[in-house]
Amino acid sequence: MQTYDIVIVGAGPAGSAAAKIAAEQGMKVVFFERGNSPGEKNASGSAIEMHAAREIIPDFPHEDTPLQRAVEGGSFWLQSEEGLLCLNAFIQAWSTEKNDVKAYTVYRNEFDKWWAEKAVEAGAKLITKTLISDIIKENGKVIGVQTEKGEKFFGNVLIGADGTNSKVAIRSGFRGPWKPNEVALCVKYDYPLPKTTIDQFWGGFSENSCKLDLYFGQSMAPAGYLWIFPNKESISIATGTGLQEMLNGGENLNYYIHQFLQHTILGRILKNVKPRYYISHEIPYLLTYPTKPLEVCRDNVLIVGDAAGSVCNFDGEGWDSAVIGGKKAAEIAIDAISDGDTSKQSFQPYQKWYNSYVLSNLDWGWRIGHWLFNEAGYEQLANPLLKTFATIFDHPHIDHIVPSLNKNLSQLLPLLGTLMLLGKLHLKPYADLLGSLV
């Protein structure tokens, strides 16, 4: 029998963050990974944000951190019947301040391994190649976990950081398996390309930097988007969409990648390039309106990251809230253990953090996502601008251009109204609900 202060299932971004923070505070911590090494089963966009990384490792990044490219901007591509509109955004393009990188692209299989090593260096015990098959309960309360080989590990607090298909969340009674309208499936191809080609098409202003491409449109993802994230010497092309939308007349996701390569410049860039890796992964993507906060703590157990559905339901970003959530869960678990009370009540600060950080994200994400995907908001934005461009090319004369601009751009006015309304309604519907919890 092995007993720990904190038992963590999962050595992804949230599990390793929690393990590091807890071990640093002198807790006896064990964390489990089902792959041969952390990161082996993981996948994402993949980009990581500096603000979240520095919550765990204040002097992040280190020299040996496996990073790919610094993200300096993004291009938003909006598809409509009129064509494809591109909005480019380069953050701080003329800034004189250096080293102010907000995010990096990474290969998660490399990065997560490094990230977990930081927890091991802090004193947490990592057990790999081990699937946790069940939780152990006593008098209705969780007291430990059991491996598939029958080995038991007991702890004062259990942290479930075991991803979308979290066994800890389901077996502890937080929720059932996610439903089709609560998850998104993603597929991704990695294409090797010469550094110069990537710099040419996706490069930013400094060495090893890049911009990301995000494509919105029914032809690329029915509810979600298609994206290109550049690495040092490869690009990843991926698409993801809500399962329910996929079921409602969608195709296998590989179809969308194929169509994309047929209809965009990417097909030409990659004409003679073979992909070297294929990855697919499922993430929580709560496309229903978040009418009530998900329960994330019970007696002796907390859930974090994908297990807790803490993924923005617009952009699918979950790394930052997984990492910060891992830290919060660990800190609150430490307090609870030192107070000798690990009841659900003692974990309420974690629920409060979740409600403010994750739920506001879900609320915004739902509003924007609903407008973009269900009301085809990207078309409303793209159509008037594309029509205006078409006029300019058709009749390059100011007599034609001005009336056309008036007509087309006036269509953008209701759009501004919609966006303002989105902002005003923010959080209001369940302010009372949150209040009652606090």
Partner 1 sequence: MTDYEFVGEKLRQKIKGLFEIIPKQKHVFIDEVRCNGCENCYIFCPGGCFTMEDGIAKATHIEDFCQECGTCAKICPTNAITYKEPEGGTGIIRRFS
Sign of CA dihedral 54, 309, 20, 114: negative
Tokens 């904190």 sit at which residue?
6
Cα–Cα distance between 18 and 246 in angstroms, integer?
A: 34
By CB under 8 A, how many residues form the interface with partner 1? 53
Indicate whether 183 belongs to the interface with partner 1 (CB under 8 A). Answer: yes
Shortest Å, Cβ 12 to partner 1: 12
Closest distance to partner 1 from the beta carbon of 61 (Å): 19
Contact call for residue 76 and partner 1 (CB under 8 A): no
Query: Which of 88, 165, 200, 345 touches partner 1 (CB under 8 A)?
Result: 165
Considering only the stretches 89-97, 164-172, 336-344, 350-358, report the one whose residues sit in contact with partner 1 under the rule CB under 8 A.
164-172
**Quick one: how far is CA 264 from the chain centroid?**
26
CA distance 94 to 205: 9
66 binds partner 1 (CB under 8 A): no
| 2 touches partner 1 (CB under 8 A) | no
Q: Are 238 and 100 in contact (CB under 8 A)?
A: no
Nearest approach in angstroms of CB 355 to partner 1 is 26
Identify residues 29-58 at the interface with partner 1 (CB under 8 A).
34-36, 39-44, 46
Helical ranges in 93-179 per DSSP H: 108-121, 167-171
Query: Which one of residues 280, 338, 343, 410 is an interface residue with partner 1 (CB under 8 A)?
Result: 280
CA distance 290 to 293: 7
Task: Record the tokens describing residue 246, joined without a space.
Answer: 């996929």
Binding to partner 1 (CB under 8 A): which residues in 84-143?
Answer: 107-109, 128-131
Applying CB under 8 A, among 196, 277, 427, 437 the residue interacting with partner 1 is: 277
State which residue, 212 or 333, has the beta carbon closest to partner 1: 212
3-class state of residue 342 by DSSP: coil
Supply 304's token pair.
């974090």
Q: What does R_g of the chain's alpha carbons equal in angstroms? A: 23
Smallest distance, partner 1 to C-beta of residue 236, A: 7
Q: Within 13 Å, how many C-alpha atoms sit on residue 317's CB side?
A: 17
Q: Interaction with partner 1 in 242-261: which residues (CB under 8 A)?
A: 243, 246-247, 250-255, 258
Please state, in angstroms and rounded to a whole number, the distance separating the CA atoms of residues 283 and 108.
15
Q: Which residues pair with 147 in a beta bridge?
A: 132
272 C-beta neighbours (distance < 10 Å), count: 5
- Pick 223 or 385: Cβ nearer partner 1: 223
Q: Which two tokens stand for residue 376?
A: 């085809």
Locate 362 and state its tokens.
């879900």
Nearer to partner 1, 71 or 246 (CB): 246
* Helix, strand, coil share of the chain (percent; to 5): 40, 25, 35
Q: Specify the 3-state DSSP secondary structure of 175.
A: coil
Residues 82, 190, 295, 315: which binds partner 1 (CB under 8 A)? Answer: 190
71/253 with CB nearer partner 1: 253
- Report the C-alpha gap between 55 and 47 in whole angstroms: 16
Pick 254 or 338: Cβ nearer partner 1: 254
Query: Could you tell me the smallest distance in angstroms from the CB atom of residue 382 to partner 1?
Result: 25
Give the x-and-dash track for 290-329 against partner 1 (CB under 8 A). ----------------------------------------
Q: How far is the CB of 86 from partner 1 (least distance, A)?
A: 26
Q: Closer to partner 1 at the Cβ: 147 or 360?
A: 147
Using CB under 8 A, list all residues that contact partner 1: 34-36, 39-44, 46, 107-109, 128-131, 147-148, 164-165, 167, 177-180, 183, 185, 187-190, 231, 234, 236, 243, 246-247, 250-255, 258, 275-282
